[in-house]
Every structure is written in C-alpha cells, then in structure tokens.
Structure 1
Amino acid sequence: MLRRLSTSIIQTRGVKQLVNIKWVRPEYVPAYKQERSGDLEGLPKIPTNSLAEEYALSDEMKDAPESVKKIFSVEHLGKKEYNHLVKKELINRVRRHRYDENTAETRIARLTGHIRCLQDTMEKFPRNVKAKQTVQELIDKRKKLLKFLRQYDYKKFEWLLEKLNIEYKAHPETYHKLSRKESLRKLTEMHCEDIRQNKLADYRNLLESQQGPFLEQKLEALKFIRSEQIDLQLPITVSEQEIKKIVQQLEDWKKNDEIKQQAKKKKRNILLD
C-alpha cells in the first residue's frame, strides 16, 4: 500500500507540496582519492634525520660531523629519491627474502608506493592530467594483481591487505547510472516507511499503556469467579497459579511504566533547560 502510494506520488505533479523531500546529487570523488582507491593511509613516515640508502653504506659518513649528515639526510633528498625510499619501505613489509623483487606481493607493494606518491602529487597539483592518468592506470593494475592473489591464495591476500593497510575494492560487475527520479522514489519510500514505523510505535505505546488497567480488571474478575465457585461448591476452573501469574505481570508492568515516566520527565526537563 505504501509502496503504491510512494510510486503514485512520484508520478504525479507537485511532489514537493505532498512530501518534503530534498534530493542533492552526491559529491563527485575522483578515482585517485583514497576513498575510491582503497588506500587507508598516506605516505609512510620516514625519519627525516636518517641518512639516505646510498650514503648510509659509506664509511666516511660514520665519522662525518652532524652538519654534513644533515645535508645527506632524507630531509634534503629530491622527490625521485624520496619516492624510491617510500617504495622500498613498503616492499620490505611484504618481501619473502632479500632478493625477492618479482613476486605478486612485492609487485603490489611497489605499485602501492607509486600510487601513494602520485596521490600526494595530485593533492598539491590537482590539475596535473598526466599524473592523474598514471595513478588511475596503476590503481587498475593493482586491482588485477589483488584479484589474482585473492583467487589463488586468500590467506596471503588478507595478510597483504593488513600489512600494506589497503582495502580491496573490485570493479563493479554492472554500471548503474544515478538518476534524480529513482533517488526521489527511494527517498519517498523511506519517508513512507518512517511514517509507518512511527504509527506502529505510537499504537504499541497505546496498547502498553492500556495493559495495566486491563490486568487489574482481569485479576478482579478471576478472583470473583474463584470465590463464587468456592461458595457455590462448583468445580474450580481458576487456579491460584493463574492469579499469581497475573499479579506478577501487573507488578512488572508497573515497574516498566515507572521507568518510562521517569525517562519522559528527564526528557521534558532537558527540553525546558
């Protein structure tokens, strides 16, 4: 009934007058953003005072003064060298051994490092078309490798997602275009469902409020029937257990009703304040 009503409201004119529903188109999120790519973190935190990989292996740097070490530290590296450190840090999380460079895990880690470096570039230069195309291609390539790993080794797939802190978002099987008419229809159905639930809740509260007087009347009637059957020496159809059960139900209702009344008073006081 409500579904037919919502459909008829959408099809007729004057929807805004009948139902106060405002539809706003969702904000567009580019494919390189972390919300769509699945990256749950940005660039890994590399200490800026640590030496770069090439200079750390030098014997002269061990005895060099602090001013010289600062010049050759990560803080003064170029963008290309810093991106190389980012990729290496992510690869070291998942590599099997020292010479592991071409397994699925290391390839995914290398792609993840490249993607996060390009994401950082896009945040600074959002109109860089070449970087935007490159990062989208890398995200699609990583999805294919993740799909392959998920199909053939699911445990390693879960372990890799946890290590690299990424979320697998597969390509959608079907493309669904967002339209204003369909969204309004769904919003109207949700609005009608809310009205229905509110009416049911009001009716439930009404029945619960009438439960106490009904139990009192029932208790008096059962006691009267039992006393009359005893006086007239007729077969007793009302047992003491039934009367005790009604008494217990009445006490429970009184406790619950008292709790509800206290909650209403608190809510009223909050609104007044």
Structure 2
Amino acid sequence: MLRRATSLFIPNRGVNQLVKPLVNIKWTRPQAIPAYNPEKSGDLEGLPNIPDNSLGKEYSLCEEIKDAPESVKKIFSVGHLGKKEYNALVKQELMDRVKRHEYDERTAETRIAKLTGQIRCLQDTMEKFPRNAKAKKAVQEIIDKRKKLLKYLRQYDYKKFEWLLERLNIEYKAHPESYHKLTRKESLRKLTEMHCDSIRQSKLSDYRNLLESQQGPFLRQKLDALKFIRNEQMDLQLPITVTEQDINKVEEQLKEWKIKDELKEQVKKKKKNILLD
C-alpha cells in the first residue's frame, strides 16, 4: 500500500533524467528541402528573360499582326494574354536551343527541354504560392519524368547528354540507390563519435609534440654516452662494441631534429604575428 501511495504522489523519473550527459552535443534536424527546389531538381537557371510586349506563340505566326498598330499588338502580347501564353513562350525558347530542325518535337532532347520549361514555370508558381498542393504534385511528377529521359540519354548518347546539360543549364541528379531515414539517435551517435575522435586526435598530437620536443636532449645524451663508451673501450683495450657508423647515425638524426625544430619555431612565430596583426 505504501509503495502504491508513493507512486501516485512522486512521479517516476527516467534514466535520462537521473544521469547527466557527459558530452554537451546539440542536434537540430536539418531543414527539409522540397523536391521542386532548384537545389534538388538541378535547375541552375531561372525563367528566361521574355519581355511583356512580345507576342503570343500562335499570334506571332499571323502575318496581319505585323502591320497592325501598337494598341492591337499590346492586346495580343504576353503581358495582356496572361501566364499561359508566357509559359508557352518559355517552353518554346528552351526547345529552340536544342532542336535538330524546325519541326523537331519528339526527340529526347526536345522533350527534356519542354519538361524543363514546365518545371521552371511551376517552380516560379511555387515560390509565389508555396501551399499550392496541385502545382507541387505536378512539378514533382514532371521532375521524375525528366530524370527518366536524362537517364536514357545518358546511357545511349553520353556526348549529347553532356551537351544538353550545358545548353539547358541543368545538373543531373539521379535517384538515390537506397533511402536512409534521418533519426536523432543515430545523428547524436555519429556526432559523439566525431567528438571523441577529435579529442583522441588532439591528445595524440599533443603527446607526439611532447615526444618530439624530448627527442633532441635524448639524442645529445645518447651521442655523449656512445662517445664515452667508445673512448673507454679503446683506453682499456677492450673489444669495441660502438662503431663510428653508430655515432655518425646519431649525429645525422640530431641534425634532422634541429632542422625540424627550427621550422616549427618559424611556424609558431608566423602564427603569433598573424594573431597580433
């Protein structure tokens, strides 16, 4: 009864509340980039510069409008007709960049150019109206369709594939081979491993610098000891165990250490001067 009563009044605390974290690592979920965003779709260019006074696609083919007054041309211009005619001119402009001939509309490159025009028009719409679910779904479907065509062209004609990317100013971003869900637990584990690795590397580098700083005095003592042993063996007419090659080897090591030590000091002075400046 006493345990039940205490459990009602005193809330149970979990392990995370009792144990304090040893490493203070903050994790924030990265901002999700929508599929229609140019960073994901690969469109490195926005809408082409088409003036408002340019005629619509179908009306520009009429010969009578060429001699018409400016007021009539203004009525049949893109600025007056609306967004639909403007989008048609955008698609036509991109298709003209890659057309093989005047009536080319069904080759892979012209279809990709037409889809690219649709994507860029819908991207402009999504920037103005980001909650437009219908446009969002449509642009995602068109991007996937263009990726399939780019993959086909990349497989069968790689030179034309590169030429097309350059002409339309797009970047090919294929579908990922595997989908990996981002979780907080796994991200914190990786961040902790990176933090521990950095601490380990810093301690190893400090220990390495300490050993290198002690190498010079050690080599001097070793050189003096070898010379003393050799002289004593020669004076006492004992078998010589220390050769001149051993002494020369230690002298060369000492010279190399002095050169390295001088370079390190120069680097330290330069860093101090930079910090002072």
> How would you bin the TM-score normalised by the shorter chain?
0.7 to 0.9
- Structure 2 SS opposite 1:18: coil
| Inter-CA distance 246–87: structure 2 relative to 1 (3 Å threshold) | farther
Residue 184 of structure 1 and its aligned partner are, at CA, apart by 1.4
| Inter-CA distance 225–163: structure 2 relative to 1 (3 Å threshold) | farther
- Tell me which of 136, 143, 149 is aligned to 2:140: 136
1:73-152 paired onto structure 2 within 5 Å: 78-152=82-156
| Inter-CA distance 215–94: structure 2 relative to 1 (3 Å threshold) | farther
Deviations 1:67-115 (A, max 9, x none): 88x9588777743333223222322332233332111111111101110
Provide TM-score, normalisation by structure 2. Answer: 0.76
Give the length in aligned residue pairs.
259
AA matched with 2:129: F
> Which entry has the higher C-alpha Rg, 1 or 2?
2
Partners in 1 of 2:68 and 2:208 — Cα distance? Answer: 81
1:43 aligns with 2:43: no
Residue 38 of structure 1 and its aligned partner are, at CA, apart by 1.7
Residue 266 of structure 1 and its aligned partner are, at CA, apart by 4.6
Q: Given that residues 147 and 174 in structure 2 are in contact (C-alpha distance below 8 angstroms), is that contact kept between their aligned partners in structure 1?
A: yes
Deviations 1:193-242 (A, max 9, x none): 111111111111112112211222233334344545665485675235x5
| Inter-CA distance 50–110: structure 2 relative to 1 (3 Å threshold) | same
Query: Corresponding residue for 2:5?
Result: none
Query: Corresponding residue for 2:9?
Result: none
Partners in 2 of 1:43 and 1:104 — Cα distance? Answer: 21
Q: Given that residues 225 and 238 in structure 1 are in contact (C-alpha distance below 8 angstroms), is that contact kept between their aligned partners in structure 2?
A: no
Partners in 1 of 2:254 and 2:79 — Cα distance? Answer: 75
AA matched with 1:111: L
AA matched with 2:254: L
- Structure 2 SS opposite 1:173: coil
Q: Which moved more, 1:223-232 or 1:188-197?
A: 223-232
Query: Corresponding residue for 1:217?
Result: 221
Query: Corresponding residue for 2:10?
Result: none
AA matched with 1:13: N
- Tell me which of 236, 240, 243 is aligned to 1:238: 243
Query: Corresponding residue for 1:247?
Result: 251
Partners in 1 of 2:207 and 2:201 — Cα distance? Answer: 10
1:13 aligns with 2:9: no
Q: Given that residues 230 and 236 in structure 1 are in contact (C-alpha distance below 8 angstroms), is that contact kept between their aligned partners in structure 2?
A: no
Q: Which moved more, 1:172-181 or 1:118-127?
A: 172-181
Provide TM-score, normalisation by structure 1. Answer: 0.77
Partners in 1 of 2:178 and 2:26 — Cα distance? Answer: 27
Partners in 2 of 1:247 and 1:222 — Cα distance? Answer: 11
Q: Given that residues 87 and 110 in structure 1 are in contact (C-alpha distance below 8 angstroms), is that contact kept between their aligned partners in structure 2?
A: yes
Point out which structure has higher relative CO (alpha carbons under 8 A, 6+ apart).
Answer: 1
1:259 aligns with 2:233: no
Unaligned runs of 5+ in 1: 1-11
| Inter-CA distance 49–121: structure 2 relative to 1 (3 Å threshold) | closer
| Inter-CA distance 111–214: structure 2 relative to 1 (3 Å threshold) | same
Q: Which moved more, 1:29-38 or 1:89-98?
A: 89-98
Identity of aligned residues (%): 70
- Tell me which of 144, 147, 160 is aligned to 1:156: 160
Unaligned runs of 5+ in 2: 1-14
- Tell me which of 203, 218, 225 is aligned to 1:199: 203
Partners in 2 of 1:230 and 1:58 — Cα distance? Answer: 115
